[in-house]
Amino acid sequence: MSPLLLFSFVILYFLLLLVVAWYTGRNSNNESFFIGNKNSNWMLVAFGMIGTSLSGVTFVSVPGAVGDVAGNSFKGFAYMQVAIGYLIGYVVIAYVLLPLYYRLNLTSIYNYLQQRFGNVAYRTGALFFIISRTVGATARLYLVINVIQFFILDKMGVPFVVTAAVILLMILLYTFEGGVKTIVYTDTLQTSLMIAGLIICVVYILSHLNLSVGESLSQMKSVGYLNVFNTDVNSKGFFLKQIIGGAFITIAMTGLDQEMMQKNISVKRLGDSQKNVITLAIVLVCVLFLFLLLGGLLYLYATSQGGVYQDVMVNGKAVKQLVLDNNNIIGDKMFPSVVLNYFPPAVGIIFIIALISALFPSADGALTALTSSFCIDIIGLKERHDLDEKQKKKLRLTVHLSFTVVFLLCIMGFKVMNDNSIIDKILDLAGYTYGPLLGLFAFGIFTRKSLPNTLAITVICVLAPAISYFLSINAKDWFGGYQIGIELLIINGLITFLGLLAIAKPAPGEAKLTAV
């Protein structure tokens, strides 16, 4: 398929986004940029957030992982264990966190930490969000940009750094003015295109293999692709770890994340925002099942074309990978390799549009949320009475541009790392960076104690991930083969919680009781 043809569709797609951004960003101000003037339609927010929650990582990595060999079996549909945990996490967000955010009428959710503990906790929480979202968003961006680079722009002689810079410039242009007000609409458009591309690919493979959905699932089961529950207690993929970890990942990466909550609190009423979250949870799990179904179908298709599993040397170790026409197509390269090399050109074009649609929602929202958090939480833009509205807008645009540059530097860092399967890496990184946020919010919600407004809070939040890392790398030796997986986030949050408890001041009632 012609790289120039594929690239032309990328440009046309971007032009469409610019038109939507121009239309929705007219007469925008700082309030519409940060929270959409609290006038967003809950149904649009719910649907658009599917794209933000999934991202290009889900689009490429989840199908690719189905046929990955883990131990003596395939990973299969094991990701559904995490998806079950997602459902639990979204219920907690809807009925514990959202009522809190609406009651306090927050623009930044980290204002809760300020009201509860003071400025040090507030800025520490915001700082960890900025680190978490920057790392996570750029890892997701890197994956999709790398796919576009490998299959399109390498063949046109365009360097990776130019590709990354141009895509970031595209995102910058259509989020520059409208912020959340624009993103609610662009995310809805992009989620629609992403899901449409997913369904078209599923239907095409079923038709090509002459299978029904039921028959395809039977074939996957016979091969071993349909594994869901991992019962090995010592494994990182043990089902209880995955379910509980999935719940906490959702609470932290959605409920304690300014990007995701920024869209939720842009809805006018709490009840509508709760409907948004529950709707998102149900649809998200269904879409994840579709991605896993697609992954199984891709491997069935590849083996029908002569693909076989062979021992391939990876970092000095023999690893079983699927080889088709002398190419290793396991992991993140599975979906794009099969679609762009073996499917008709029309399906390849649909795949590229869907992939771009999966890329932009996670990137544009992150860029906007990071700008919002830095402006509101770190430099206190809303309280800057020495600046008029025009000067505040100029400062906000400068911050927005600066984060674009930071994104580019981080993407180039992931390029140097050159990780072939990045979804597990993102969950690992989230365990380290979101743990302190989980500990801070849990301490505020579940205790009545206060904290000293000192840098001791920040020190504890920095030490907790370091201790968690030390435990993680030694757990196998110390605990009889037990491996720390997705539960790393819970361990990190618990260490933060205990550290805060050690420096906490008694609640007013506790102090009075002690005096008596």
Is position 232 within any domain? yes
Top-ranked range on mean pLDDT: pick from 4-8, 492-496, 512-516 = 492-496
Residue 515 binned pLDDT confidence (cut-offs 50, 70, 90): very low
Alpha-carbon 149 to chain mean position: 21
CATH number, domain containing residue 315:
1.20.1730.10
Q: What is the mean pLDDT of residues 479-494?
A: 85
- Report, as an integer, the average pLDDT of 188-198: 79
Residue 269 falls inside a structural domain: yes
Assess whether pLDDT exceeds 90 at residue 492.
Answer: yes
- Host H or E run for residue 323: strand 317-324
CB 500 within 8 A of CB 506: no
Domain extent for 331: 3-380+394-415
Q: What is the pLDDT of residue 437?
A: 92
Condensed to tens digits (0 to 9), the pLDDT of residues 298-327 reads 888 888 888 777 776 655 666 677 777 776
Q: Is the pLDDT of residue 5 over 80?
A: no
pLDDT tens digits, residue range 70-115?
666 778 888 899 899 999 999 999 999 999 888 888 777 888 999 9
> What whole-number distance in Å separates Cα of residue 292 and Cα of residue 66?
7
* Residue 441, CB-side half-sphere exposure with 13 Å CA sphere: 26
Average pLDDT over residues 30-45: 51
**Rounded CA gap, 114 and 104, in Å?**
11
The answer to the question of residue 432 being in a domain is no
* Burial class, 420, CB count within 10 angstroms (exposed 0-12 / middle 13-18 / buried 19+): middle
Q: Is the pLDDT of residue 50 over 90?
A: no
Could you tell me the pLDDT band of residue 465, with boundaries at 50, 70 and 90? very high
Cα dihedral 84, 89, 94, 95 sign: positive
> What pLDDT, on the 0 to 100 scale, is given for residue 494?
95
Planar angle of CA 123, 397, 273, nearest 5 degrees: 60
Model confidence at 133, pLDDT cuts 50, 70, 90, reads confident
Model confidence at 171: pLDDT above 80: no
Tally of domains in the chain? 1
**Is residue 422 one of the residues assigned to a domain?**
no
Asked whether residue 501 is domain-assigned, the answer is no
Residue 258 lies in a domain: yes
The answer to the question of residue 389 being in a domain is no
**pLDDT value at residue 302:** 86
- For residue 76, give the 3-state DSSP assignment: coil
Mean pLDDT of the region 372-388: 76
Domain assignment present for 421: no
Confidence check: pLDDT of 21 > 90: no
When pLDDT is averaged across residues 20-34 and rounded to a whole number, the result is: 55
